[in-house]
Structure formats: structure tokens, C-alpha cells
Structure 1
Amino acid sequence: MKRKGRAWLLSLVLLASGFLIAYSYQQTKTGPEMVQLNDSQWKKEYYYQQQLLNMEERNKQLREELKQKRMDIQSHESNLATSEQTVSDLVTRKNRLQQLVGELPIEGQGVEIALSDSAYIPDQEQVNQYIVHESHIHAVINELLSSGAKAIAINGQRYFSDSYIACTGPVITLDGIQHPAPFVITAIGDQDVLYSSLGLTMGVVDRLKADNIEVSLSKEENILMDAKLSTEG
């Protein structure tokens, strides 16, 4: 009786073991199919990820190129603006030089000093001691130039470094053009400096008055001087 029980138990164990072995074999057989499916999906996912990474890297490169292009454009614009400013500065400087040499009219603030012959001449034989001479004109011009005058005119005619002044009786000749008294000398520059320089104690104005010359001095807010007179034709 005991042997039959043991045989039955052994059969049951063998049956259960066989079932487990068969189930394990089936699982082992079907396992590779599941791994192959997952591997294919992983390959696809990996492929798409690589594509995405490549696109992101390309986008990064394009952003860097765009940034560099913008910097290049800004640099060109800056250089262009600098070039335009340089040209503008050169034109302004050229015009300024043309004004100073008399090729163009010039305008600005300054001073005006008028010299007249003495209204009272006690002795007609000494008349030359009571009229304006070229030395008086030169004294005024030299003082104006030393005080920084940018342009000078006598009775509206421009005076230049190569101009010549001659006294012919009661008239003054400037570069071949005669001017009668009174002689109005205008100068463009810092009006305060020019005015103060002329009006110094024992300065030009005082010396002119000591030579019996009638003098008037004033500041002018706007003085216009024409261009140099042409000697051609």
C-alpha cells in the first residue's frame, strides 16, 4: 500500500516536472521572436533619434552662420557709415579751406573797426598828419591776425596774406582797387577776443587816436564776406 502511494506521488511529481519543462521550452522558443521585435523597434527609434540629433546639430550650425552673417552686415554698415562720415568731414574741411583762401564766401561773427580822417585839420600844410595811411591799416590788420581773425575785409574787399596795400593821397589801394575814407575793416573770428585785443590800453585804437584818426569799434553778430575777386578776363 505504501509503495502504491509513493508511485502515485512520484508520477505526480514527474508529471508536474514534465509540464514545467515543456512550458520552459515553449517560452525559450518564443523568447527570441519578442527580442527580435524589440530590437527592430529600438533600431527605428535609434535611427529617428540620430536624425533628430543631426537636425539639431545642423540647426545649431545655421544659427551660428546666421549670427556671423549679421555681425558681418553690422560691420559693413559701420564701415559704410564711417566712410560716409569721412567723406562728409573731408567735404566740410575742403569748403572751410576754400572759405579761408577766398574761393568761397565766408560768414560769421566778429568785429568792425572804422577809420576816418580827422574832421578837424588845424594846419592844412600838415594835412598828412590827420588822414589815414596804409600804416594805420596795417596796424589794425596785424592786430586782428595775431588775435585769431579767420577772415578780414576792407570796405567789403577780402584781404589775404599776399594782398598789398598802398596809400595814394586820400585813398587806399588794396590789390589794385582804390577805396576812399572812411575805411571799414571787418574781421570774422571770436568777437570778444578781437574786440578786447584792439581796445587794450595803449593798444591799436589808442595809437590811432593819438595819430588824430577817428576810430569806431563794434562787435558784429553776423559778417558776410564775398569770395576773392577774380582777376581773369
Structure 2
Amino acid sequence: MNKSSMKIIFSFVLLLSGFLIAFSYQQTKDNPEVIQLTDQQLEKDFYYRQQLIDIEKENKELRGEVEEKKVKIQSLEDDLANQEQKVADYVEEKKKLQKLTGDVSVKGQGVEVTLSDADYVPTDENVNQYIVHESHIFKVVNEMLSSGANAIAINGQRIYRDSYIACTGPVVTVDGIQHPAPFVITAIGDPEVMEPSLELTHGVVDQLVNDNVQVAVKQRQNISMDANVSGEG
């Protein structure tokens, strides 16, 4: 076989090889291989997916529990604030009652009401109609309490929740101690409330004047009353 024949054969082999390679590449491109997962790989994929679902479900439940705890904490804080306010109210009420019962000393501004017997008594009239009686004192004391008095004293003697006031002739007895007229009744509290309350039209002062009692009302800026150290009252 000469050289020319060999060249022709060799060229034909190369051409055929190239054609086969090109055909194989085109087939591979047009029909890519499909990756097949094994059963073990599918089980692992399912397991991890299920784990993720469970974790998301647990996180959702935890978020719900956190919100419930927040609501409970807010409710407890509100209850605590209400209890603190109630305690403060109780303490304030206790202080007020202690002032009224004389358990603590007290000082401050207030009013002073002086009740005096009439200067002139007609000869044909009953003298008892022109002097101060315990009923007149009660009217003043009750009006003072109604208008916010914290403590009250008669002629400097502090009166308490169970004080006894009685008229004995020309004198008035307060818890066994006699006081002659004039009777000075002092009260610690807001003078801007108590004074107008006493001087209302047809109020206490007008009633006392109609009963022939001389009345003087004035504000005082510094009144002091001691506590009931004896334990009485």
C-alpha cells in the first residue's frame, strides 16, 4: 500500500472519529442525564424538612407563650399600681382619722370662731335666750367637720371623737372641764373652704345671730394642737 492510500484511510478515520465525538456531544446536550436520588437520600431530605417544620411550629408556640406572659406581667403591674394607690389612700385616711381622734399633734392654718353671750338682755326676756348653749357650739363644730377640719379645739382644749360637751348654766363643760363664755372654737383646715361654709346665707352664722349669739369669724395662719397623750378620747 502506497503512502497516498494510507493518507486517505487515515483521513477517513479521523473524519469518522470527529463525527462520532460531535454526535455524542450533541446527544448529551439534548438529553442531559437525570440525577436519581437514593432512598437513603430521600429519607434524609424528608427528615430535615420535618425537623424544620417542627422547629417553626415550636417557635410559633413559644411566641404565643411570650405574648401571654407579657399580658400577665402587664396585669400584675396594673394590680400592683392599684394596690400601691390603695395603700396610699389608706395611709392618708389613717392620718386624717388620727388627727380627728387626737392621736397625733397637728398644726397649720385654719379658722377661729368666737361665740359670746349677748351684750344686752331685755329685762322682760329670759336670759337663757341670750347666752351661748352647747347646741350653738355643736352647730359650729359640725360645720367645721363638714368643711374639712382636721382638728378642733374649744378654748384651747382639743376635742375628740367621743368628747362630751354640755351646758351647765352660764358655762359649758367639755370632757369635765368647765369653760365660761366667750367660747373660742379653732379648727385646722383650709380656711378658704371653712370660712365661706360658716358664713353661707341662712347658714350657721346667720342661725346663731338669730339666736342672739354674738359671732366673730376670722382666719388664722398658725394653729397648733397637741396629741392626746393621756390615751383618752
TM-aligned CA distance change 1:168 to 1:227, over 3 Å: farther
TM-aligned CA distance change 1:180 to 1:144, over 3 Å: closer
- How many residues align? The count is 189
- Which of 185, 205, 211 is 1:207 aligned to? 211
Is 1:35 the counterpart of 2:36 in the alignment?
A: yes
| Preserved CA contact (<8 Å) 2:121 2:127 | no
Is 1:194 the counterpart of 2:181 in the alignment?
A: no
- Which of 123, 136, 142 is 2:139 aligned to? 142
* Correspondences of 1:53-202 after superposition (within 5 Å): 53-105=53-105, 110-116=110-116, 133=131, 135=133, 137-145=134-142, 148=146, 150=149, 151-160=151-160, 161-167=162-168, 172-187=172-187, 190-191=193-194, 192-196=196-200, 197-200=203-206
More helix by share: 1
Distance 1:177 1:229 in 2: 17
Q: Structure 1-normalised TM-score?
A: 0.59
What one-letter code is carried by the residue in structure 1 that aligns with 2:158?
R
* CA deviation after TM superposition for structure 1 residue 35, in Å: 2.4
* CA deviation after TM superposition for structure 1 residue 96, in Å: 2.4
Residue-by-residue CA offset, 1:120-141 (whole Å, 9 max, x unaligned):
7899x9xx959x8551x53142
Match of 1:199, SS state, is helix
Is 1:45 the counterpart of 2:38 in the alignment?
A: no
- The two structures, once aligned, show a CA RMSD in angstroms of 4.2
Q: Structure 2-normalised TM-score?
A: 0.59
What one-letter code is carried by the residue in structure 2 that aligns with 1:165?
A
* Runs of at least 5 residues in structure 1 that lack an aligned partner in the other structure: 1-32
* Runs of at least 5 residues in structure 2 that lack an aligned partner in the other structure: 1-33
* CA deviation after TM superposition for structure 1 residue 103, in Å: 2.6
Question: Share of identical aligned residues, percent?
Answer: 40
TM-aligned CA distance change 1:122 to 1:60, over 3 Å: closer
